Amino acid sequence: MKSLNIKSTIQKALNQLGVKPINFGTSTGSIAFGNGEIIKSFSPVDGELIGAVSSTTKDDYEKVLDAAQIAFKSWRLKPAPQRGEIVRQFGDKLRELKQPLGELVSYEMGKSLQEGLGEVQEMIDICDFAVGLSRQLHGLTMHSERPGHRMYEQYHPLGIVGIISAFNFPVAVWAWNTALAWVCGDVCIWKASEKAPLCSIACQNIITQVLKENDLPEGISNIINGDYKVGEFMTTDKRIPLISATGSTRMGKIVGKTVGERLGKSLLELGGNNAIIVTPDADLKMTIIGAVFGAVGTAGQRCTSTRRLIIHESMYNKVKEALVKAYKQLRIGNPLDENNHVGPLIDKDAVKMYENALQKAVKEGGNQIVSGGVLSGKGYESGCYVMPAIVEAENYYEIVQHETFAPILYLLKYSGSVENAIEIQNGVNQGLSSAIMTNNLREAEQFLSHAGSDCGIANVNIGTSGAEIGGAFGGEKETGGGRESGSDAWKIYMRRQTNTINYTTNLPLAQGIKFDLE
């Protein structure tokens, strides 16, 4: 797609998604989803103003909450397979609108069009998963110690689920939560990132259409707009039993503390400082592909992005040379042009963090073997495009211990056995994603053992970035411990209840306790 076609293409996409009015490059044209301050959405692709939304006031929020509470009373009574049918229809709408929604994700957030389309595909996949799940919300049956008693366990809807999502996956993470929450009988309130508000409105328009077509209350799915102060409406609200929050570790600590103080439940998906271990038995070609995509995909703005490459000393120079060669082939520019590999960072604040991290890495002794920097000139007018950088470093550098949401890859050297590499990999506060490149079965099994990777995700001969929806997604330590998407992640959206039924004429007590009355 040529840059000259961006405006017309995005305008067409917005019209298909029902997001209007939009006036490119002007301050007019807002979408009234609240009565608060106006939030303007600028594209990092070209710096253009896409549109604006109204933020949510406290009065607006109370109206949204009332609608959600009313909707929950009827939604929870629908049989789970019928709720699954609504999710199926939502998935079908996403199939119809995959192209325009993927284009909007790419333009508003800055990721490549292929990644934007892939994000919508994740939404479709989780809908398919949830539809099947709607017939498998199983409990357990247990033998009672008392004669004539039956004991079992079942799950019930929680109520309202509050969702706080980040800019880097402006639609998929919401779908991970809502698709499961809906089939579980919950209703949702979503506060999307104020850096990509139009994506959330597009999604809300799609599900609203499905709800209307089925004569269901719109309060089953709700959005609120604004910054962290709007998010606090939910985190402090006792009427919302679960808050699912995706973002930085700093944000997660605040959310976890706030929700915990009111004894609510929180599902936290926070920062990652992900590493790939490269052993002497690694396949070099696979290693380079996995490392480069992991480091530069989404311009390094994935929570699963590869930050550290831990390379055995015998392979170090070979891997380094191959990486430098691969980075020379990277094409940086308009992410809607499928010839490009890397798009922009989300905004100029992110660019500043990128610059500060590189300066600190060099100050601590790091050596830039692929120099970074901010790009300027034709095609880079937004000021958000940067060069992906590679820095030779040591794991003890302070900057290496932190997550920088940018395309900076640190090369670390290890010697001896794979246990030494695992120790380096685990020696950070985050614990999201990890990988090892090896054709040695023993090394692979050590990496996956109790004494191996301490991350929630551990891959062999696959990079750190990207995950299928069938497995539970999440991490340990400062990543928050939450699990979303597949496996049995659905259970956090429900409350567990143990039931015991006495079908005799006697009332025996547990543990053989005697309590007789005449």
Q: How far apart are CA 288 and CA 324, in angstroms?
A: 10
- N-term to C-term CA, the chain: 87
Checking if the pLDDT of 21 tops 70, the result is no
Range 348-358 average pLDDT: 98
Give the whole-number percent of the chain exceeding pLDDT 90. Answer: 93
Q: How far apart are CA 388 and CA 343, in angstroms?
A: 10
> Of 184, 203, 303, 455, which one is the catalytic site residue?
303
Checking if the pLDDT of 25 tops 60, the result is no
Q: How far apart are CA 439 and CA 421, in angstroms?
A: 16
Model confidence over 172-207: pLDDT tens digits? 999 999 999 999 999 999 999 999 999 999 999 999
Counting runs of H as helices and runs of E as strands, what totals does the chain give? Answer: 14, 24
Range 439-456 average pLDDT: 98
- Cβ within 8 Å of residue 201, ≥6 positions away: 19, 31, 33, 53, 223
CB-CB neighbours of 368 under 10 Å:
16
- What is the average pLDDT value for the chain, to the nearest integer? 95
Place 128 in a pLDDT band, splitting at 50, 70 and 90.
very high
> Of 48, 103, 119, 269, which one is the catalytic site residue?
269
Asked if residue 79 has a cis previous peptide bond (ω within 30° of 0), the answer is no
Place of tokens 């007789």: 516
Place 476 in a pLDDT band, splitting at 50, 70 and 90.
very high
Q: Which two tokens stand for residue 347?
A: 């905004």
Range 226-242 average pLDDT: 97
Q: Which two tokens stand for residue 503?
A: 């079908």
Of 32-36, 103-107, 196-200, 224-228, the least confident: 32-36
Collapsing DSSP to helix, strand or coil, 249 comes out as helix
C-beta separation of 336 from 12 below 8 A: no
Give the whole-number percent of the chain exceeding pLDDT 70. Answer: 97
Checking if the pLDDT of 24 tops 70, the result is no
Q: How far apart are CA 108 and CA 194, in angstroms?
A: 11
Checking if the pLDDT of 31 tops 90, the result is no
> How buried is 221 (Cβ within 10 angstroms: 0-12 exposed, 13-18 middle, 19+ buried)?
buried
Checking if the pLDDT of 348 tops 70, the result is yes
Model confidence over 44-101: pLDDT tens digits? 999 999 989 999 999 999 999 999 999 999 999 999 999 999 999 999 999 999 999 9
Respond yes or no: is residue 127 known to be catalytic.
no
Residue 5: its pLDDT value, please? 80
> How buried is 131 (Cβ within 10 angstroms: 0-12 exposed, 13-18 middle, 19+ buried)?
buried
Checking if the pLDDT of 213 tops 90, the result is yes
Q: Could you tell me which residues are beta bridge partners of residue 236?
A: none
Question: What pTM did the predictor assign?
Answer: 0.96
Range 390-417 average pLDDT: 97
Place 30 in a pLDDT band, splitting at 50, 70 and 90.
low
Place 486 in a pLDDT band, splitting at 50, 70 and 90.
very high
Range 206-226 average pLDDT: 97
Q: How far apart are CA 172 and CA 98, in angstroms?
A: 12
